[in-house]
Amino acid sequence: MIIIWLHGGFPSIGLRQRAVETYSKGTEIMYRQVRQFLEEGETLAIATIVSTLGSTPREVGAQMVVTASGEILGTVGGGCGEAEVRREAVEVIRTRKPATVRVELMDDIESDSPAVCGGIMNIFVDPWWKDPAAALCAELTNELIRVTDEGVGGVVATVVSTENCRNVSVGEKCLVREGALKVGNIRNQELIQAILKEAAVRLDKEECKEVAIPLPSNSGKAQVFFEVIPATRKVIIVGAGHLAIPLVKFAKILGFHTTVLDDRVLYANRERFPDVDEVLVGDMAATLREIKITPFTYIVLITRGHQFDEPCLREVIRSPAKYIGMIGSKRRVKACFIRFRDEEGIPEELLKRVYAPIGLDINAESPEEIALSIISEMVKVRRGGKAQSLAMRS
């Protein structure tokens, strides 16, 4: 393991960063570029931040691709630490053996540099290449591209260190998709079963993380990094009134696939929503019944009246949606929930899933402010935040 101590800030090092703007658009484009390099016969190194301590310039899961000539795509934070990771990556490419770089961002106590974070990053540098005897990387890259194309989500599990483990090597990896191992070179069945279980947790939380996995049969353990490729997050906005317009814009900025549904073609149309992915016109409750809802679906009920909201809520309340929010006053929401519970037998635990009144408590008034409070609540649910929702206000 290499340890780097950084003092006095991040200097400019003038590295050539090819296609960083494209890389930053997401995993899909990154792996398409990796596939292109592999097909051209290049050996690459993928540097991934697998753990951090304290304040750091990039988050766990951030990646940088390095070529044999030292060109880089993406960033793990810039400065001297990234330069050292780049140098180590070139050596990893030469030897085709993975390595871990520990970057300690230690600032001089009297420095006023805003660029220094003062934390620690552990970065795993992994060689990727393609030849007849080592087709794994090419197969994995192709499968990752399919995962992103289809929007189903997946998890890449990579062994980053081992302790007293037989039949387990650093750098072994596999891809888990839809609960099954799709491609990989991990041979230890005990480890595979543990990875399948942990991958489901990571995907549900949309959280990249390094996890210590005990292997009782070996009396050892493996440190495994779980890289999460989230499924496409979709938001279904039911009701195409004034509030839906800024809500679609916010959702698109945050990367949601957006659908607007209304029973009025005068409102639900491309002229009002030029950026939306899908516009649906029809009976709102009946149309919702036909839409596939997954744990990555967010549902926002903002129709023009409770006579429309309630039938729509009835259709989705038992769904696996990640988020269900419904507009309305606290009094009207309470009356709706009493009817659902007492007259229709809907369990209290299902009613508690519904964020109603919808949105965070930011005293919003305008359509744009209310849309901001709704999208912020969706982010809160996704990330496990603690901001107060209107639904939880006494």
- Three-state DSSP class for 380? helix
Tens digits of residue pLDDT in 134-189: 689 999 999 999 998 888 899 999 999 999 888 899 999 999 999 999 999 999 99
CA atoms of 164 and 223, how far apart (whole Å) = 12
Query: In this structure, what token pair is assigned to residue 261?
Result: 């549904």
In tens, the pLDDT along 50-81 reads 999 998 899 999 999 999 998 999 999 888 88
- Tens digit of each residue's pLDDT (9 = 90 or more) over 327-358: 999 999 999 999 999 999 999 999 999 999 99
Which residue in this structure is represented by tokens 């590295």? 15
* Domains in the chain: ranges and CATH: 2-128 (no CATH), 145-229 (no CATH), 234-392 (3.40.50.720)
Q: 């839809």: which residue's tokens? A: 178
Question: Which backbone phi and psi does 8 adopt, to 5 degrees?
Answer: 80, 20
Q: Cα–Cα distances in Å, from 323 out to 30, 207, 374, 376?
A: 29, 18, 11, 12
Q: What predicted TM-score, i.e. pTM, was given to this entire model?
A: 0.77
Give pLDDT tens digits for 95-122.
999 999 999 886 533 445 444 567 899 9
